[in-house]
Amino acid sequence: MISFNGHVVLMVLLLITQCKGGLLVEKCHLRITNDLGRGSNPTLHRKSRDDDLGEHTLPYRGYFKFAFRPNFAGTTLYYCSFKWKGGFHYFDIYIELTHRDICGSSCWWVVRPNGPCLRDSQTRQYDMCEKWHN
C-alpha cells in the first residue's frame, strides 16, 4: 500500500486547482487605453472579487496592462472604475464566461466617453462597445 504524506497531497491539490482540461490555465492579458480626449487623465481603479489592485493615472492615449490566471471554477471577474473631470464610470473588464471566448488570452479595451470598446481579435477594430454601468 502506498502512503501519501501531507505535502504530496497538498501539491497535487495545488496543481489540480491551477489546471483546466489537464493543462495549466493560460494567463489572460488585459490592456486598457485612454481615448477620453485630450486633457483627460482618469484615475483607473482595478478590482476583482477578491483583490483590490489599486489606482493608476492613465494619460490620454496611454495604456495600462496586467495579466492573471483565471480561476479553475471559471468565475474570474475584474472590473474597473474611471474617475475624471466630469465623470465617474465603471464596467466589467473581464468576465470569464463571456470574455474568454471573445478575446482568448488577450483582451484589449479602449475607454471612450460613451463607454468601453473591446478589440475584435479578427478585425483588430475596437468595435465591440458597451455602455458604462452607471
Burial of 56 (0-12, 13-18, 19+ CB in 10 A): middle
- In the chain, the domains with their CATH numbers are 25-129 (2.60.40.10)
> Would you place residue 106 in the very low, low, confident or very high pLDDT band (cuts 50, 70, 90)?
very high
Average pLDDT over residues 120-124: 86
The pLDDT tens digits of the residues spanning 4-49 come to: 555 544 444 444 444 444 456 789 999 999 999 998 899 999 998 8
> Which pLDDT score, from 0 to 100, does residue 14 have?
45
Question: What's the confidence (pLDDT) of residue 24?
Answer: 64
Residue listed under C-alpha cell 490555465: 25
Q: What is the pTM of this model?
A: 0.78
